[in-house]
């Protein structure tokens, strides 16, 4: 008996496979979303820490901004 035929035995098997497939896709989507959310939180924290220490100093020449990041306290950056 083929599994693709919707017989008395094939109907529950196909339903089980369909439910398993949907649950598998939902589980993978949830894991990817949680991983991306954790990464976004980490990047936001790093961005906040960077912007708390540095500011953008404008230097517009010939119509383009050629500025740089400088420390807010005015000390030179030795990194």
Token reading at 79 = 């990194």
Whether residue 63 has pLDDT greater than 90: no
Kindly give, in sequence order, each residue whose CB lies less than 8 Å from that of residue 52, ignoring residues fewer than 6 positions away.
72
The ranges assigned to domains in the chain are 13-71
Q: Can you tell me the mean pLDDT for 5-34?
A: 87
pLDDT: is 19 or 60 the higher one? 19
Token reading at 28 = 């993978």
- The per-residue pLDDT for 2 is 57
């Amino acid at each position: 008996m083929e599994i693709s035929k919707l017989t008395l035995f094939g109907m529950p098997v196909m339903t089980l496979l369909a439910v398993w497939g949907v649950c598998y896709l939902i589980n993978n989507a949830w894991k990817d979303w949680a991983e991306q959310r954790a990464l976004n939180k980490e990047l936001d924290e790093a961005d906040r820490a960077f912007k708390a220490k540095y500011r953008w100093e404008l230097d517009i020449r010939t119509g383009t901004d050629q500025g740089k990041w400088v420390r807010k306290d005015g000390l030179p950056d030795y990194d």
